[in-house]
Structure 1
Amino acid sequence: MIGQTISHYKILEKLGEGGMGVVYLAEDTKLERKVAIKFLPRHISVNSEERERFKIEAKAAASLNHPNISTIHSIEEVNEDVFIVMEYIDGEELKNKIKSDPIPIGEVINIAIQIAEGLEAAHKKGIVHRDIKSQNIMITKDSKVKIMDFGLAKIGRGTQVTQIGSTVGTIAYMSPEQTKGDEVDNRTDIWSFGVVLYEILTGKQPFKGDYDQAVIYSILNEEPELEGNVSERLMYIIAKALSKNKEDRYQSVGELLEDLKQKNAKFETDQEQVISKSLLSKNWKLITAGFVVTMLIVFGLFFFNSSSDSVKIKKSIAVLPFTNLSTDSDQEYFADGMAEEIINSLAQIPNLKVSSRTSSFRFKGKEIAIQTIGNELGVGTVLEGSVRKSGNRLRITAQLINVSDGFNLWSNSYERELTDVFEIQDDLSESIVKALQLTLSGNQINSFNTRNLANVEAYNLYLKGRYYWNKRSEEGVNKSIEYFQQTIDIDSTYAQAYAGLGDSYLMLGVYGRRKPEESISIAKSFIEKALKINNKLAEAYATLGDINIHYDWDLDAAEKNLKKAIELNPQYANGYHWYSEVLVLRGEFERAYQQSQHALELDPYSLIINAQLGQHYQRGGEFQKAIDQLQKTLEFDSTFAYAYYDLGIAYIALNQFNDALNYFRKAYSLAPEDTRILSGLAYSEGLTGSKENAERLGKVLLKRAVSKYVSSYDLAVISLGLGQKDKALEYLEKAYEERGPWMLFLKLNPLFNSLSDDFRFQELFRRIVN
């Protein structure tokens, strides 16, 4: 699309997209001016009913003529394309302005009044916006407000194209009636205005949740909280705008404007007052003078008696995934990769706590206040940024935010050639070191700046490989192998790419996607190659330690390599995570729990590490702790199949077979392709008397074995569920020959309890450990 000319509009660049279309910057070649063009998606434009809706709503928006509303120039149709030509606003989204410097209170009120005046003009025309949010409000360079995108507008009278029951809009800004799909009127915009005003004042949204239904629950049932140096009258305006019952809200924007303008006289006398975006919120109580004095005393005591703990928490950081602002959404891998590389660089710095990738990336795409993120991750600072990659040009912005007060400790933007990416990363990391007042020795500085300066093409391919590896799916891992191999084809000395290949083949082997003697042995060769090139790669030593456990069955070698990984990078959670397995296999359960818990301190939201602690408790005979920990894991992600599988194992150990069956069934419903989970379900079906189901699942696995690898270990589990001990032992002998990745754990797995007294099983295990 970019570079094309449609009618007399030359498309220059993509500006954004939403539910009702894609917006481009274009040049009107007839009038020689820049315009914004919004295209109806092709799959909708060919639908006559949707096309009609678009045209009606566009005509409604075009009827609006107000300085605080973006002007609609025309509606055009070219072949099957339908588009609106709009005024191009050269300015900043209110959303981004809120994220930058704190806004003086006088400016806050000025912005609010202009938004309200624009809405009032639309409402007088019978038009309801229905998607008022900070992203739909632009602030020009001369501080004028422009409300954008009446593409979701509803005609108050006449033709009603959008039916009752739809929930058009952005959930966090929706009114209660909107979330229910009820009929809406101008009061839904008043609610959304209240959300935006709250967001300007606090830097966060009043109604939050980890998923859509949680946000809707908050909108319908919870009261937002506000306190601090926000005036009583502003609290009143927000509270009235956010009344759950629309009859209790302002009944018109005009009423709201009267209150805003009445209060504005007071605000204009105090233009220097600033609203802190990090204000903690507890209630809607009006603040009294006595309360303010009390808080000043408390804060005075805090700042004059700050302990070493307060200093310590500051020297900690979470690097959030960078936002991809490139016109090509496929460039997301580059934005993610930038953040991950910065995490890896910072992790080398002594005395700096760095939140792991897993935990930091949990907040990707979520609009959550920085203070909430910082508190959840236990860090004092948060780095966020954006990446725009266009051809060989790169624009990166970044800001380091102090969690305690919401203000920037440092910020910068970079406009460079793509070849400067390594220099930018080093500069970012070094700036963070300075902002946090960290001191590095000469050797630490050299180590900190050591980077595999591959050419940019190889680096790009490596980032793509890591991006797909982090998807943790079979398809993603296979794609990552392709990209890591292409990286090495360009640069045969790229140690991290060899390590990436090792990680990928290890994952395929451990999770039963390929034969262990093929995949894990290949993984080991790649890891050893990586370490030959760069013997400082902590992650490679950790992976080698995991291979020692699951393939070599060599606990001494595993301990040596995992301790080396921890020495090189004390903040690499997987080092402790895998070392805890060594300790479990040696029967040192208390030490194993400690190692797992330390891994969780570094990576609190890792599903694998959380579930593994539950496994360890089960293997150590602490069954209730195991169940509690696995249930906690599911609170993070209720779709994590392995937590249900491990719960099934725990209940097998407790001889509560029906409970176990329910958890295995749930795991299988979430991951039907996983052979370990399928075998666990078949075992449980057989144990509870459903032998037909067990046999059916066994046939599914045998049929699967015709075209792809199926572990003999899993077939042994199914045989035990059917009471076929001799057959199970035959399969275990094959698993021994295959170097099955779970063979060292046989005696800790209650699925094999029925074989514990069999001398053949004991002899097999003796060979494994020797």
Structure 2
Amino acid sequence: MSFTQSRQNEFLDKLTRITEANMSNEQFGASELAREAGMSHSNLHRRLKYATGLSISQFIRKVRLEKAYALLQESSLIISAIAFECGFRSVSYFNKCFRDQYGYPPGKIRKDEYPDSGPDNQLPEPSLKSPGTKRTTMITVASASVLVIATIILLTILKPFSSDNKPRDLSIAVLPFRNDSPDAENAYFINGIMEEVVLNLQAIKELRVPGRTSVEQYRTTTMSIPEIAEELGVNYIVEGSGQKYGDKVILRVQLLEGASDEQLWGDSYKKEIESIEVIIGIQSQIAQSIANELQAVITPAEKQRIEQTPTTNLTAYDFYQRGIWEVEKYWSVYQGYKRDNNREALLRAEDLFSKALEYDSTFARAYTQLAIVYTQKNYWETYLTENCLDSVLILANKALSYDDQLADAYFVKGYYYHTQNQDEQALTEYDRALELNPNDCWSYFWKGAIYENKDLVKSLDNIQKVILMYRGPVLPQVYSEISWVYGCAGFKERSCYYAKEAFILDGDSARYYSQLAFPESTVGNFEKAIEYAEKNYALDSTGDFVLGQLGLFHSFLDQYKESLRYFKEYDRCLKVLDKSDPSNTFRIGHALWVNGFKNEAAYYFNTALEFHNEAIELGRIDVVDNYYALACIHAFLGDKEKAYENLRLFKREMGGYFYYIEYLKKDPLLDSIRDEAEFQQIVRELEARYQAEHEKVRQWLEENDQL
């Protein structure tokens, strides 16, 4: 071994040790390795490239995967736990990287289907050898024909999962365009162009393109292109910048290979904005140039949608772009069901979209965006009215009357029908949206929500697609959703894993403990559930959700004084927040009753009866919850006939919310009928349904190499 090769090996060993010491830290990337190695990013990149042919990010990923391979052979950890231990925040991304490196999924190792493969006998990729070794190999090739034969043998024998056998991963992220205009006010215009480029690329079925909110976090990042590409799980990155001076615009856009940061394509555009067609022309030209560079097929229908002019009125389009900018501000600080959302931005967006329609009453996209604003603004205000969200449906249909190829309008219709408990119609609308925009992650999300109580495998499959596509501020809520579904399916470890994923992203310790409480409650471990919920309460004693949890779990253990204490706090909290959520009022009534406050309890029971009956009559979602609540109230008040009537309807509708089985066994409101034959038969039928669904999910996990 030469002195130079010895130094290179020492250098690689040092980098490997540093990476292994930070193995479970998914934030450990190229910048962190360079800092701990005492080198600049550029010097480390150059030395690694020379020694191994790998970028810094590729080297780190290789070390992580070799560690994962060893754990798969030597430990009994489930694959998701190994992925997390080795620094992969997404199991699907871990599976992709593992398959790319070794040629087969991680689950195959434990099935001994590849006994001769491993870190030292893997499929071809840049090896940890110096370029000198490669040159020596090339020199020994006697002729070009021998080289061709050798290449064919390698590709045939050593790479069974070649591009001929699997689709190309044309995944691309468009980073926020930088506004170089002297006037910061023009940011909305430059970002409006970026938004349209994203939408145009998303319309091409061959491409996988994360949405705008997934990439907004990188607006001011110091991360390198390879680091961003790895974090987003994409192979290509688009960067852009623009300047607007009066009616003139200058844009510079480039397409980069994610792993190497090498430019594949770039162009500049200098135009005078004489008409809306100029702006649309630039946006469609950029998208089509990128697709052509990646050799993605653009169908005639996709090309027509990309080149379509949404409005002929420049002023209307300007108001529309400003409205989109405000909507993005709203989503950038989205906090789920909390009250500290940027509601002012939502109201400004409503005003701007309305102004756009004043200048062009046929502007379909403006109608659609106004409908989306109303879904966020008016849901609870109209929940118990016959015309709940009717304005949303009217606006979506109006949009489609002017443009029947508008994916967002079909998404809005899907959301409307979902809120009306018309799930089949909702699924039809979501599927239509996905035909027009295969990258519409929110259609997948709400399909997943619909299937939560119908088919847990379909629910999980759809939500996992969201996780693959989306990296924006709502990702913790997406992880929380899949955590909840795994809890319903009886997979406690996976439920806790995704709860931790959410916590890693948002640092919300209080919500994390509440999420850990849920899977404990699904298996009847209410003592442990209370332990986690109390940790949440210690961090945030004003959260209505945890107060409801604690009140409920204590009642299941016949700890009625503690239950009343938390339900009283829960009731006060809702009044202080001016939050309308009468779904738990019957629980407050029960806590008051068993503690001797029967007159006060009657008010809460009557309120609950009115709410749940009206919600059912109006066809609102949460029908399973409504039937269960009514069965509990009637059983407790002594009306067994109505209790069983609602229990039968509850059983008919219940397809995935299997945590209710433990509630049926413990709920004190059902004590009067729990030992009766019909009640026990209902429990047995639901348990059999749960076991069947649990097994379906287990098989699905096994087929997808996640067990």
Q: Classify the TM-score, shorter chain.
A: 0.5 to 0.7
Match of 1:200 in 2: none
Match of 1:603 in 2: 470
Instruction: Name the SS for the 1:308 alignment partner.
Output: coil
Match of 1:529 in 2: 398
Query: Residues 443 and 742 of structure 1: is their aligned pair in 2 closer, same or farther, counting only changes over 3 Å?
Result: closer
Cα deviation, 1:213-266, whole Å, max 9, x if unaligned, reads: 99999898676677788469x99xxxxxxxxxxxxxxxxxxxxxxxxxxxxxxx
Contact 2:181 2:243 in 1 (8 A): yes
Runs of 5+ unmatched residues, structure 2: 1-24, 62-126, 139-146, 332-340, 595-600, 655-707
Query: Residues 558 and 437 of structure 1: is their aligned pair in 2 closer, same or farther, counting only changes over 3 Å?
Result: same
Contact 1:402 1:408 in 2 (8 A): yes
Matched, 1:501 2:370: yes
- Could you tell me how far apart the structure 2 residues matched to 1:341 and 1:640 are? 37
Contact 2:30 2:56 in 1 (8 A): no
Contact 2:29 2:57 in 1 (8 A): no
732-741 vs 618-627, which deviates more? 732-741
Match of 1:615 in 2: 484
Cα deviation, 1:262-284, whole Å, max 9, x if unaligned, reads: xxxxxxxxxxxxx998885569x
Query: Residues 769 and 381 of structure 1: is their aligned pair in 2 closer, same or farther, counting only changes over 3 Å?
Result: same
Matched, 1:381 2:236: yes
- Could you tell me how far apart the structure 2 residues matched to 1:406 and 1:691 are? 60
Contact 2:198 2:211 in 1 (8 A): yes
Contact 2:208 2:439 in 1 (8 A): yes
Instruction: Name the SS for the 2:431 alignment partner.
Output: helix
Contact 1:580 1:595 in 2 (8 A): yes
Q: 1:691 aligns with which of 561, 564, 579?
A: 564
Matched, 1:352 2:225: no
Superposition pairs for residues 394-433 of structure 1, below 5 Å? 394-418=249-273, 419=275, 420-433=278-291
- Could you tell me how far apart the structure 1 residues matched to 2:544 and 2:312 are? 39
Query: Residues 348 and 679 of structure 1: is their aligned pair in 2 closer, same or farther, counting only changes over 3 Å?
Result: same
Matched, 1:591 2:470: no
- Could you tell me how far apart the structure 1 residues matched to 2:619 and 2:136 are? 64
Cα deviation, 1:667-713, whole Å, max 9, x if unaligned, reads: 789999986666556656877716334313312323554xxx61322
Query: Residues 621 and 452 of structure 1: is their aligned pair in 2 closer, same or farther, counting only changes over 3 Å?
Result: same
- Could you tell me how far apart the structure 1 residues matched to 2:627 and 2:540 are? 24
- Could you tell me how far apart the structure 2 residues matched to 1:390 and 1:670 are? 51
Cα deviation, 1:150-194, whole Å, max 9, x if unaligned, reads: xxxxxxxxxxxxxxxxxxxxxxxxxxxxxxxxxxxxxxxxxxxxx
Matched, 1:730 2:598: no
439-448 vs 342-351, which deviates more? 439-448
Greater relative CO (CA pairs within 8 A, separation 6+): 2
Displacement after TM superposition at 1:607 (Å): 3.1
- Could you tell me how far apart the structure 1 residues matched to 2:465 and 2:137 are? 33
Displacement after TM superposition at 1:509 (Å): 4.5
Contact 1:685 1:693 in 2 (8 A): no
Match of 1:438 in 2: 296
Query: Residues 337 and 660 of structure 1: is their aligned pair in 2 closer, same or farther, counting only changes over 3 Å?
Result: farther
Matched, 1:544 2:413: yes
Instruction: Name the SS for the 1:354 alignment partner.
Output: coil
Larger Rg: 1
Cα deviation, 1:86-141, whole Å, max 9, x if unaligned, reads: xxxxxxxxxxxxxxxxxxxxxxxxxxxxxxxxxxxxxxxxxxxxxxxxxxxxxxxx
- Higher strand fraction (1 or 2): 1
Superposition pairs for residues 639-654 of structure 1, below 5 Å? 639=508, 645-654=514-523
Superposition pairs for residues 568-583 of structure 1, below 5 Å? 568-583=436-451
Query: Residues 633 and 721 of structure 1: is their aligned pair in 2 closer, same or farther, counting only changes over 3 Å?
Result: farther
1:617 is aligned with what amino acid?
Answer: Y
CA RMSD of aligned residues (A): 4.7
Contact 2:371 2:396 in 1 (8 A): yes
Cα deviation, 1:586-643, whole Å, max 9, x if unaligned, reads: 2x11222222222322225533332221222222333332222221122222249766
Displacement after TM superposition at 1:297 (Å): 8.4
Q: 2:319 aligns with which of 445, 458, 461?
A: 461
Query: Residues 735 and 530 of structure 1: is their aligned pair in 2 closer, same or farther, counting only changes over 3 Å?
Result: farther
Instruction: Name the SS for the 2:452 alignment partner.
Output: helix
Match of 1:560 in 2: 428
- Could you tell me how far apart the structure 2 residues matched to 1:660 and 1:363 are? 38
Q: 2:496 aligns with which of 627, 633, 646?
A: 627
- Could you tell me how far apart the structure 2 residues matched to 1:700 and 1:556 are? 37
Displacement after TM superposition at 1:425 (Å): 0.6
Contact 2:269 2:282 in 1 (8 A): yes
Match of 1:292 in 2: 131
Contact 2:255 2:265 in 1 (8 A): yes
1:547 is aligned with what amino acid?
Answer: Y
Q: 1:320 aligns with which of 175, 182, 198?
A: 175
Cα deviation, 1:413-447, whole Å, max 9, x if unaligned, reads: 22223443222111111111221122334333223
- Could you tell me how far apart the structure 2 residues matched to 1:578 and 1:616 are? 13
Q: 1:475 aligns with which of 344, 348, 371?
A: 344
Match of 1:88 in 2: none
Q: 2:225 aligns with which of 370, 394, 406?
A: 370
Instruction: Name the SS for the 2:296 alignment partner.
Output: coil
Displacement after TM superposition at 1:744 (Å): 3.0
Instruction: Name the SS for the 2:389 alignment partner.
Output: helix
Instruction: Name the SS for the 1:546 alignment partner.
Output: helix
Displacement after TM superposition at 1:400 (Å): 0.5
Match of 2:684 in 1: none
Instruction: Name the SS for the 2:479 alignment partner.
Output: helix
Match of 1:713 in 2: 583
- Could you tell me how far apart the structure 1 residues matched to 2:29 and 2:564 are? 41
Number of residue pairs matched by the alignment? 515
Contact 1:396 1:414 in 2 (8 A): yes
Q: 1:448 aligns with which of 306, 319, 332?
A: 306
2:507 is aligned with what amino acid?
Answer: S
- Could you tell me how far apart the structure 1 residues matched to 2:306 and 2:287 are? 9
Displacement after TM superposition at 1:477 (Å): 2.5
Query: Residues 678 and 414 of structure 1: is their aligned pair in 2 closer, same or farther, counting only changes over 3 Å?
Result: farther
- Could you tell me how far apart the structure 1 residues matched to 2:365 and 2:381 are? 23
Contact 1:680 1:717 in 2 (8 A): no
TM-score by length of 2: 0.61
Cα deviation, 1:719-767, whole Å, max 9, x if unaligned, reads: 5666788635732532553559652351799x99966977656656849
- Could you tell me how far apart the structure 1 residues matched to 2:375 and 2:533 are? 25
Query: Residues 458 and 295 of structure 1: is their aligned pair in 2 closer, same or farther, counting only changes over 3 Å?
Result: farther
- Could you tell me how far apart the structure 2 residues matched to 1:417 and 1:428 are? 17
Matched, 1:744 2:611: no
Query: Residues 676 and 228 of structure 1: is their aligned pair in 2 closer, same or farther, counting only changes over 3 Å?
Result: closer
- Could you tell me how far apart the structure 2 residues matched to 1:486 and 1:672 are? 43
TM-score by length of 1: 0.57
